[in-house]
Amino acid sequence: MAKRFIILLFIAAWLSGSASGQRDHPRGRSFDAESHPVKHPEEQQTQYWVDKAQEKLLSKLAEAETQTANTNKAKNVILFLGDGMSVHTVTATRNLLGDSAEQVYFEGFPYTGLSKTYCVNRQVADSACTATAYLGGVKGNYGTIGVNGQVPRYSCDGDAKEENQVLSIAQWAQAAGKDAGLVTTARVTHASPAGVYAHTADRNWENDWEVANRGCDPAQTIDIARQLVEQPVGQRLKVILGGGRQNFINTTVNDEEGLPGLRTDGRHLIRQWLDQKRAANESANYVWSRKGLGLVDLEHTDYLLGLFANSHLPYNGDRDRKRSQLADPSLSELTEAAIKVLSRNQEGFFLFVEGARIDMAHHDTYARRSLEDTAEFARAVQKAREMTAEDDTLIVVTADHAHVMSINGYPEITGLAQLADDNLPYTILSYANGPGYYSGYNRAEGRALLKEENGDDVAVYASGPYAQYFSGNYEQSNIPALMARAAGIGPYA
């Protein structure tokens, strides 16, 4: 039975990289100091750890003396969302960055808490219902976005009743005279960013064809891309940066990279967006490449729409860094551009930034891709913190839900652990489900495929005005209330 409990999953990239390692791991031999030399000899000394603890105490004492809690009004609020970024993911990213003692940038933020991610009808949440929680302050049903728990998934008229719609903190910011924007490495109509501006009974309704495919009338049930361009919150977003041109153009139309759209209603929503802004005499720019983004005069741009891929942006590790015309911008570059545009409003702004592909890499069990995207996500957080002042800008970093990746076994995180009962080594980072599960495990004997993420709490890291609000353990739906209170906007002001 023992082997049943060991999930044998091989992450191809690492396996090939560590193939020679297999010979060093004969069955049953334990790992001693000789085969795994200590990386930092100073860690073998008691004094090293005592000094580290003293350092921590000194900084805490200094904080107590000099720091009163930051109770400034938050002019700006930036919410960073690492999709599927479990605590395990952050831990493993430290190793990617260097070693276990390394800190991922936002781990240095002064306040940390835990948020409870379940949704109304599921213990284990998805990116849709969690978006309603961390952006709108209300929990809804699995698969739905921007609507409360009265709305069952796939109900055609689910978004129709105003009392069932959940407004997001982006709307609260706009109503208070601030600007709002979103940045994501996914399609801008994907579940998490849709929480900023959409109300829909199904996360898949990103275009009219998907709506019709579920038996609803696309003229009544407005798809997510159309909501972004035609409905008030989306219309007023000053910055929209991500992927997903496919949901803006018809199947008969090709995008700048020659790839077709998915719409069947003939709408060209990119053109529609530009026409709208120009009709209102606003300066608006649409860009589709890193080069195009570089040419935009961000200090004189009212509205910026950047759709850099037909679907999602590539994993950070797969970004095309050579061909300048088609090169893809990084999440930190997108974040920098967004802050430049939004900073033009003296009243401040709300910005949502999503590292979307951390989760997608996990789903495909590409652990290294996932950690690289987490590292780039951390660079984006750092860029934002450096561009803004702790005095007036609250930055909150969290995840929507955790993931099933776990850290098992003894030697290095990116290597192979001992041999299991079947004489094969297993990787330290393993997945309890996902497509890689079957490729590494005997289908006939294997466990049932679990499709979901897991229901763990996720961490929340905060810096800036009222960051102290974010310590402790609370509902994910409390997050927008705490942010809004810090900024003095919306129903929680």
Ligand X SMILES: *[C@@H]1O[C@H](CO)[C@@H](O)[C@H](O)[C@H]1NC(C)=O
Q: Give yes or no for residue 98 binding ligand X (CB under 6 A).
A: no
Is residue 71 involved in binding ligand X (CB under 6 A)? no
Q: Tokens 């729409």 — which residue? A: 305
How many other β-carbons are positioned within 10 Å of the β-carbon of residue 392? 16
Q: How far is the CB of 200 from ligand X (least distance, A)?
A: 22
Give the residue ranges of DSSP H helices in 190-239. 191-197, 208-213, 224-230, 232-235
Please state the closest distance from residue 271 (CB atom) to ligand X, in A: 12
Asked whether position 264 contacts ligand X by CB under 6 A, the answer is yes
DSSP E strand boundaries for 268-308: 284-287, 303-307
DSSP E strand stretches across 188-323: 239-243, 284-287, 303-307
Q: How far is the CB of 283 from ligand X (least distance, A)?
A: 8
Task: For residue 363, say whether it is annotated as part of any ligand binding site.
Answer: yes
Considering only the stretches 60-68, 115-123, 244-252, 415-423, report the one whose residues sit in contact with ligand X under the rule CB under 6 A.
244-252
Q: Judge whether 401 is annotated as a binding position.
A: yes
Q: Residue 378: which H helix or E strand, with range?
A: helix 367-387
CB of 251 to ligand X, least distance (A): 4
Name the CA radius of gyration of the chain, rounded: 23
CB of 237 to ligand X, least distance (A): 21
- The phi, psi pair for 42, rounded to 5°, reads -60, -25
Distance between CA atoms of 28 and 19, rounded to whole angstroms?
18
Q: How far is the CB of 279 from ligand X (least distance, A)?
A: 10
Stretch that binds ligand X, among 92-100, 149-157, 246-254, 314-322 (CB under 6 A): 246-254
Q: Which of 127, 155, 332, 430 is catalytic?
A: 127
Q: How far is the CB of 282 from ligand X (least distance, A)?
A: 9
What is the amino acid identity at position 418? Q
Four-CA torsion 165, 166, 170, 172, nearest 10 degrees: 100
Query: Is 83 annotated as a binding-site member?
Result: yes
By C-beta, is 30 or 281 nearer to ligand X?
A: 281
User: In this complex, which beta carbon is closest to ligand X, that of residue 155 or of residue 250?
Assistant: 250
Asked if residue 397 lies in contact with residue 106, where contact means CB atoms within 8 angstroms, the answer is yes
Counting contacts by CB under 6 A, is residue 266 touching ligand X? yes
Per-residue mark of binding to ligand X, 167-186 (x: CB under 6 A)? --------------------
Q: 331-342 vs 367-387: helix axis angle to the nearest 10? A: 30
- What is the token pair recorded at 165? 């719609």
Q: Please, are residues 471 and 111 in contact by the beta-carbon 8 Å criterion? A: yes
416 in Cβ contact with 440 (< 8 Å): no
Tell me the residue nearest to ligand X as measured from the CB: 266
By C-alpha distance, which of 290, 296, 261 is closest to 189?
261
Question: Which of the stretches 163-171, 250-258, 294-302, 303-311 binds ligand X when contact is defined by CB under 6 A?
Answer: 250-258
Residue 370 labelled as part of a binding site = no
**Near ligand X in 273-292, by CB under 6 A:** 281
CB-nearer residue toward ligand X: 45 or 252? 252
Q: Identify the bridge partners of residue 286 per DSSP, sorted by sequence position.
A: 305
Name 127's Cβ contacts closer than 8 Å, sequence gap at least 6: 83, 84, 190, 191, 192, 203, 359, 400, 401
Name the residue nearer to ligand X (CB basis): 235 or 264: 264
Q: Compare residues 91 and 264 and give the one whose CB is closer to ligand X.
A: 264
CA 323 from chain centre, in angstroms, equals 27
Shortest distance in whole angstroms from residue 247 CB to ligand X: 13
* Cβ neighbours for 236, distance < 8 A, ≥ 6 positions apart: 174, 180
By the rule CB under 6 A, 250 interacts with ligand X = yes
The total number of residues shown for the chain amounts to 493
d(CA 221, CA 156): 6
Closer of 36 and 300 to ligand X (Cβ) = 300
Closer to ligand X by Cβ: residue 268 or 291 = 268
- Interface stretch with ligand X, choices 196-204, 247-255, 291-299, 313-321 (CB under 6 A): 247-255
Per the DSSP assignment, residues forming a β-bridge with 349 are 179
468 binds ligand X (CB under 6 A): no
Is 127 an annotated catalytic residue?
yes
3-class DSSP assignment, residue 339: helix
Q: Quick check: 251 binds ligand X (CB under 6 A)?
A: yes
Q: Does 254 bind ligand X (CB under 6 A)?
A: no
Residue 359 labelled as part of a binding site = yes
Q: Which is nearer to ligand X, 214 or 268 (CB)?
A: 268
Question: Mask of contacts with ligand X, 319-358, x by CB under 6 A?
Answer: ----------------------------------------
Q: Determine if 252 is a binding residue for ligand X (CB under 6 A).
A: yes
| Phi and psi, residue 260, nearest 5° | -80, 160
Task: Specify binding-site residues for Zn(2+).
Answer: 83, 359, 363, 400-401
Task: Please report, as ranges, the residues that interact with ligand X according to CB under 6 A.
Answer: 250-252, 264, 266, 281
Task: Specify binding-site residues.
Answer: 83, 190, 192, 354, 359, 363, 400-401
Which residues form the catalytic set? 127
